[in-house]
Chain A
């Protein structure tokens, strides 16, 4: 069985963390577009839940956006 190296994982976590750059962003009064419901990261949670349930039961991967699904013995 393949062992995933810890260094590889930590390197990726490090890269993800570094991308939080404090020079990015907007002032509160510039949030007109960002404040829309459609701009939420998960703007259609019901659609996402239905899709996740299908893909969880038909493919070998799950999660990513949120916790890895499950809760069914789906065939």
Chain B
């Protein structure tokens, strides 16, 4: 790309981003456009027979005279496809009412029920201001706004970091406060109410359906605390250790998910809308080691998370950057994840038994392993520009939490695997 073209593109992006973020960064827009650094990416995520998502990111950052840094990021993503609705597969076809109450969908015998209603577009704006306070203290403040058709989220955060020991040790602390609002089409279903499945064309279906739901949306608040320690070990190695605490309060049920109520033969009698606790507290411990060999770099991290829903999870993530003779880089990536089920996870409910206070059949809070294998190829271009391609295969393997299947459920797939491909192009200039 010609240098003048590059300046023009940067100026255009800058104008677009600052317009979207209002007047807060007008001053920044008046500075020389070519001092901005931009990172852009386009990602495709596709699951076999389920969700497809496309996500685009434009991020710009600029360093000012006294080492202040302004970072702005615009994310747009679209989501279409089908998502497991929580009900179990059956030997016979099943009919479900759409979450909006407008229409129904049929699931073939033997297949995991997927709701194919999902279609959404999300726009997210992120801004962060970072500045030195003293020779060894750095302070940062930022915000985040995200809007999709039935969901809104706003968050603010602030961090402070202090260097010790010739900048070999950095200690940091941060806090974030988030507010999320959900307002699904058709309203929020009442907890454990039976999904209405009748003649959607009948005159009283709409009013009967509305009677199963709250008219208004709902919301939740989340407070996050993050303590971090970065330590240089030697000329080749650094270590990062984080502890984070997150407390959420409010609506955390998934209004699109149901549970099958089955009899002793495993035959579905009704579908009940799920209900989750309105409070969740999570602790996460994160450790990362980066090691620079002669030419290659190994990046390995581990995270342990536990919460008061009784979900424990372990995540190991490893990347290995290998420079090639032509200056390009190749980077294999491997990630392994495992989680235990939430205490209220139930793959189905049994007819005649007392309905628990909380229950969800969402496989994402059930017992599960997941694995990602990927590869990134990086091409440095002239003038500091960089192009890279990334591809990864992601597989989720939900597992039984020990719940004994009954009747026909013994012969049906209750924990079906999910396979996905991620592909990404990134360009920095």
B328 within 8 A of A: no
Contact for B308 among A1, A55, A63, CB less than 8 A = A1
A50 and B424 within 8 A (CB): yes
> With A46-B426, A67-B244, A74-B79 given, is the CB distance from A58 to B396 under 8 Å?
yes
CA distance A34 to B297 in the complex (A): 11
CA distance A32 to B195 in the complex (A): 63
CA distance A71 to B285 in the complex (A): 22
Contact for A16 among B238, B243, B310, B390, CB less than 8 A = B243
Give the secondary structure class of B's interface.
strand
Contact for A43 among B77, B167, B182, B299, CB less than 8 A = B299
**Interface membership of chain B positions 327-354, coded 1 if the CB is closer than 8 angstroms to chain A and 0 otherwise:** 0000000000101001100000000000
Give the secondary structure class of A's interface.
loop
Contact for B174 among A1, A49, A67, CB less than 8 A = A67
CA distance A43 to B310 in the complex (A): 32
Residue of A nearest to B84 (CB): A75
Contact for A39 among B79, B290, B305, B365, CB less than 8 A = B290
| Complex interface residues of chain A between 7 and 64 (CB less than 8 A to chain B) | 9, 12-13, 16-17, 19-22, 24-28, 30-34, 36, 38-39, 41, 43, 45-47, 49-50, 53-55, 58-61, 63-64
- The smallest beta-carbon distance between B333 and chain A, in angstroms, is 9
- The smallest beta-carbon distance between B44 and chain A, in angstroms, is 11
B387 within 8 A of A: no
**Interface membership of chain B positions 223-238, coded 1 if the CB is closer than 8 angstroms to chain A and 0 otherwise:** 0101101111111101
A60 and B313 within 8 A (CB): yes
B229 and A20 within 8 A (CB): yes
Contacts of A3 in B (CB 8 A): 308
- The smallest beta-carbon distance between A20 and chain B, in angstroms, is 5
| Complex interface residues of chain B between 129 and 180 (CB less than 8 A to chain A) | 144, 146, 148, 150-151, 153, 155, 157, 164-169, 171, 174, 176, 178, 180
Identify 14 new A-B residue pairs, CB closer than 8 A, beyond the known A60-B313, A61-B303, A75-B118. A19-B241, A22-B169, A25-B232, A28-B166, A32-B235, A46-B41, A49-B57, A50-B424, A61-B339, A66-B226, A68-B284, A70-B222, A71-B180, A72-B153
Q: Report 15 cross-chain contacts, Cβ distance below 8 Å, ordered by A residue.
A: A1-B277, A1-B309, A1-B310, A22-B164, A24-B168, A34-B235, A41-B238, A41-B288, A45-B39, A46-B39, A58-B396, A59-B364, A61-B339, A63-B282, A68-B284
- Chain B residues in contact with chain A, CB under 8 A? 39, 41, 43, 45, 51, 55, 57, 59, 73, 75, 77, 79, 83, 118, 120, 122, 124, 144, 146, 148, 150-151, 153, 155, 157, 164-169, 171, 174, 176, 178, 180, 182, 222, 224, 226-227, 229-236, 238-244, 246, 254, 256, 277, 281-286, 288, 290, 292, 297, 299, 301, 303, 305-311, 313, 315, 321, 337, 339, 342-343, 364-365, 368, 370, 376, 390, 394, 396, 418, 422, 424, 426
- Chain A residues in contact with chain B, CB under 8 A? 1-4, 9, 12-13, 16-17, 19-22, 24-28, 30-34, 36, 38-39, 41, 43, 45-47, 49-50, 53-55, 58-61, 63-68, 70-75
Q: Please list the 5 inter-chain residue pairs (A to B) with the smallest Cβ-Cβ separation, ordered nearest first.
A: A25-B168, A73-B151, A64-B286, A71-B146, A71-B153
